[in-house]
Amino acid sequence: MLFTDVIRKKRDGGELSADEIQYLVDGLADGSLPAEQVSALAMAIFLNSMSFDEAGLLTIAMAQSGSVLEWQDAGLDGPVVDKHSTGGVGDKVSFLLAPIAAACGCYVPMISGRGLGHTGGTTDKAESIPGYQATPDFALFRKVVASVGCAIIGQTADLAPADRRLYAIRDVTATVESVPLITASILSKKIAAGLDGLVMDVKVGSGAFMQSMSRAEELSRSIIGTAARAGLKTHAVITDMNEVLGYTAGNALEIAESVRYLRNEGSEARLDEVVRALTAEMLLLTGIERDAAGAAKRVDEAIRSGAAAERFARMVAELGGPADFIDRYEHHLPTAPVIQPVYLEQDGYLHSMDTHAIGNAIIELGGGRRVLGEALDLAVGFSDFKQIGDAVDKQHPVAMVHASTVEKANQAVQRLRAAAAVSPVPPEARAVVCRTID
Ligand code: URA
Q: Give the residue, out of 110, 118, 186, with the most ligand 1 atoms within 8 A of its beta carbon, to mutate for a pocket test.
A: 186
Which residues, 6 or more positions from 264, have their beta carbon under 8 angstroms from its beta carbon? 303, 304, 306, 309
Asked whether the beta carbons of 356 and 207 are under 8 A apart, the reply is yes
CATH H-level superfamily of 3-48: Transferase, Pyrimidine Nucleoside Phosphorylase; Chain C (1.20.970.10)
Best probe residue, ligand 1, of 116, 172, 176 (max atoms within 8 Å of C-beta): 116
Instruction: Please tell me the distance from the alpha carbon of residue 279 to that of residue 262, in angstroms, as a whole number.
Output: 14
How does DSSP classify residue 367? S
73-to-69, 70, 101, 285 alpha-carbon distances in Å? 11, 7, 21, 22
Instruction: Kindly list the catalytic residues.
Output: 82-85, 122, 170, 185, 189-190
Query: How much is the pLDDT for 215?
Result: 96
pTM of the full predicted structure?
Answer: 0.94
CB atoms within 10 A of CB 137: 12
Assigned fold of 72-330: Pyrimidine Nucleoside Phosphorylase; Chain A, domain 2 (3.40.1030)
Q: What does each of the 438 residues of the chain score in pLDDT, given as a tens digit?
A: 999 999 999 999 999 999 999 999 999 999 999 999 999 999 999 999 999 999 999 999 999 999 999 999 988 999 999 999 999 999 999 999 999 999 999 999 999 989 888 998 999 999 999 999 999 999 999 999 999 999 999 988 889 999 999 999 998 999 999 999 999 999 999 999 999 999 999 999 999 999 999 999 999 999 999 999 999 999 999 999 999 999 999 999 999 999 999 999 989 999 999 999 999 999 999 999 999 999 999 999 999 999 999 999 999 999 999 999 999 999 999 999 999 999 999 999 999 999 999 999 999 999 999 888 889 999 999 999 999 999 999 999 999 999 999 999 999 999 999 999 999 999 999 999 999 998
Atom of ligand 1 nearest to the CA of 119: 8
pLDDT of residue 155: 87
Instruction: Return the pLDDT at 157.
Output: 85
109's CB contacts (< 8 A; 6+ apart) are 69, 71, 80, 82, 141, 142, 145, 150, 151, 193, 194, 195
- Specify the DSSP class assigned to residue 390: -
pLDDT at 36: 97
**CA-based nearest residue to 419, from 242, 288, 267, 283:** 242
What DSSP assignment string belongs to 418-437?
HHEEEESSPPPP--SEEEEE
Identify which of 242, 273, 261, 276 has the alpha carbon closest to the alpha carbon of residue 388.
242
108 CA to middle of ligand 1, Å?
18
What residue ranges in 19-134 does DSSP mark as E strands?
A: 81-85, 108-112
Alpha carbon dihedral 38, 43, 49, 54, in 10-degree steps, equals 0
Q: Give me ligand 1 centre to Cα 245, in Å.
A: 18
What is the largest distance, in Å, between two alpha-carbon atoms of the chain? 65
Other Cβ atoms less than 10 A from the Cβ of 241: the count is 31
Q: Which residue among 185, 202, 215, 220 has the greatest number of ligand 1 atoms within 8 angstroms of its CB, and so is best to mutate?
A: 185
Closest CA to 192 of 155, 222, 220, 218: 155
What pLDDT does residue 341 have? 97
Q: Strand 197-204 relative to strand 81-85: parallel, antiparallel, unpaired?
A: parallel
Residues within 6 Å of ligand 1 by CB: 86-87, 113, 116, 181-182, 185-186
Q: Yes or no: say if 311 and 103 are a contact pair by the CB < 8 Å rule.
A: yes
What sign has the CA pseudo-torsion 168, 169, 174, 179? negative
Instruction: Give me the residue spans of the domains in the chain.
Output: 3-48, 72-330, 334-423
Q: For atom 2 of ligand 1, which residue has the closest CA? A: 186
- 133 with 143: CB under 8 angstroms? no
Helices (H), 84-231: 93-103, 122-126, 138-148, 161-171, 179-192, 213-229
Cα–Cα–Cα angle for 394, 395, 401, nearest 5°? Answer: 85
Alpha-carbon dihedral 332, 337, 339, 345, rounded to 10 degrees: -150
116 alpha carbon to ligand 1 midpoint, in Å? 7
Q: Which CATH architecture has domain 334-423?
A: Alpha-Beta Complex (3.90)
Beta bridge partners of 350: 422
Residues 6 or more apart whose CB falls under 8 angstroms from that of 324 comprise: none
Neighbour-count burial of 75, counting CB atoms closer than 10 A to its CB (0-12 exposed, 13-18 middle, 19+ buried): exposed
Nearest residue CA, atom 3 of ligand 1? Answer: 186
- CB-based burial label for 394 (10 Å; 0-12, 13-18, 19+): exposed
pLDDT at 265: 97
HSE of 89 in the Cβ direction (CA atoms, 13 Å)? Answer: 30
